[in-house]
Structure formats: structure tokens, C-alpha cells
């Protein structure tokens, strides 16, 4: 994250409740962004911590042993594929293949499916050049958005019908959050993509630079 983008996020966070929702582990995301006054959700909603809370909400903690076992097996299997890597994100793990030769990408997908077949509690989802292995229980970015909105409404005595929630994302896994916002009053999803593609988002921006430019002109209505 550039210092300019960090400043833009900090400015928004000083005006209204601001959250970061990621597939990566929450601690990794926070160390990357380096801002304290944000709400962070990692591992696709399996690890959520609001800025004013001391304990994180970890609804998928019971799945961690089986996730670890499957990840260790996957690390062993994937070693033979040049460019492939396994990332530990606590309650999920990710198999990245962006650097893999195009001829071998289908092999990566096959190995992921074969390796996780014996773990009935887990499911494989696809993101941007990544296969993610996570619990079958419905922990995703939509779940994270709903949880954060519910907690903020409770803590601040908000009428949720008066709260406009905006979610900005560029990955296939962000569609779960767009879907949640489409189903509530005052919800707005923004897809970041140069390509025209199917999406549940209501609007689109081309790239992070355009996101930053629009964010700096954003003035929220205080309730």
C-alpha cells in the first residue's frame, strides 16, 4: 500500500466506520495496512476484530486443526510445481498459481481437489489466480460484512435502515459481500476492474488509483 493510499484510507476512517475485509490472515492484513482505527476481518470472515475490542471473533476456530492438517499435506504435494505456493491464513489456506506455467495450472487445480477430497469439513473456492481451502461452514466476506454492520449498529444504537454501507472489491470472493449489500436497504457494492464482467456490485471503478481519487472526494452524512 502506498503512503498516499494509506493517507486516503486514514482520512475516510476519521469520518466514518471503516473496515478491511480480506481472505488473508487478519494479522497479516493489519501489518500491511498499519492503521489502528480500522475494523479488520481476515480469513474470509473467520477472524474478525473491531477496533475497540480486545478479543477477536473467531467463529471457525474449531476447524483449525483440520485446516492445518490439510495445509501440511498440500505443501508436500505442491512442491513439485514450479511457481506454486501455499499461504497459511490461519483458518483457511491459499494455493497461489500466478507464477505457474499456463500448461500446469490445471494440474495445480487437480492436485488441490485431490488433496482436500479426504477432508469432508473443507471446501475449495477460486479467487484471482488462487485456490482457497476453507471450512464448508458459511464464513465468507458477506458473512464478515453482516457481522461488522450488526456489531456497529448495536454498539452505536444505529438504525440500520439509515446506515449506508459501501463495499469496494476486485476479486471473485468479494461477490459474497456485494450480494449482502444488494439485499439490504442502504447497501452499495463497487467492483474494481478494467474488464466488463458479471457482478452483483452496483457500480464499478477501473483501478485503485480511481478508487483513491473518488475516496478523497467522499464526504459522509453524519447520523
| Strand 122-127, strand 130-135: pairing | antiparallel
Instruction: For 112, list phi and psi in degrees, rounded to 5.
Output: -65, -45
Domain 61-135: CATH architecture, name and number where available: 2-Layer Sandwich (3.30)
pLDDT bracket for residue 186 (50, 70, 90): confident
pLDDT given at position 37:
94
176-203: burial string, b at 16+ Cβ within 10 Å, e else: bbbbbbeeeeebebbbbeeeeeebbbee
CATH class of 3-52+139-215: alpha beta
CA–CA gap between residue 94 and residue 75 (Å, rounded): 10
What value does the mean pLDDT take over residues 132-139? 89
pLDDT given at position 219:
53
Between 95 and 118, the higher pLDDT residue? 95
Q: How do the domains of the chain map onto residue ranges? A: 3-52+139-215, 61-135
pLDDT bracket for residue 75 (50, 70, 90): very high
CA–CA gap between residue 73 and residue 115 (Å, rounded): 7
Report the candidate in 128, 129, 121, 97 with the shortest Cα–Cα distance to residue 111: 97
What value does the mean pLDDT take over residues 162-179? 92
**DSSP symbols for 109-130:** HHHHHHHHTT-TTEEEEEETTE
195-204 residue pLDDT tens:
988 999 999 9
What value does the mean pLDDT take over residues 79-106? 95
pTM of the predicted model, to two decimals?
0.85
Amino acid at each position: 500500500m502506498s503512503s498516499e493510499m494509506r493517507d486516503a484510507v486514514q482520512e475516510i476512517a476519521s469520518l466514518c466506520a471503516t473496515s478491511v475485509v480480506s481472505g488473508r490472515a487478519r494479522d497479516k492484513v493489519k501489518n500491511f495496512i498499519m492503521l489502528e482505527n480500522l475494523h479488520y476481518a481476515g480469513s474470509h470472515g473467520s477472524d474478525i476484530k473491531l477496533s475497540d475490542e480486545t478479543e477477536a471473533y473467531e467463529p471457525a476456530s474449531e476447524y483449525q486443526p483440520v485446516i492445518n492438517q490439510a495445509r501440511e499435506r498440500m505443501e508436500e504435494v505442491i512442491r513439485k510445481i514450479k511457481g506454486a505456493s501455499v499461504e497459511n491464513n490461519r483458518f483457511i489456506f491459499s494455493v497461489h498459481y500466478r507464477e505457474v506455467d499456463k500448461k500446469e495450472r490445471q494440474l495445480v487445480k487437480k492436485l488441490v481437489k485431490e488433496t482436500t477430497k479426504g477432508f469432508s469439513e473443507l471446501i475449495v473456492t477460486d479467487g484471482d489466480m488462487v485456490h482457497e481451502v476453507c471450512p464448508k461452514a458459511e464464513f465468507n466476506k458477506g458473512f464478515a460484512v453482516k457481522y461488522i454492520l450488526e456489531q456497529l449498529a448495536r454498539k452505536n444504537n444505529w438504525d440500520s435502515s439509515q446506515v449506508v454501507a459501501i463495499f469496494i472489491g476486485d476479486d471473485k470472493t468479494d461477490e459474497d459481500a456485494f450480494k449482502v449489500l444488494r439485499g439490504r436497504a442502504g447497501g452499495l457494492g463497487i467492483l474494481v476492474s478494467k474488464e466488463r464482467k458479471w457482478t452483483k456490485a452496483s457500480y464499478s471503478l477501473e483501478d485503485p488509483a480511481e478508487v483513491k481519487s473518488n475516496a478523497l472526494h467522499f464526504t459522509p452524512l453524519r447520523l
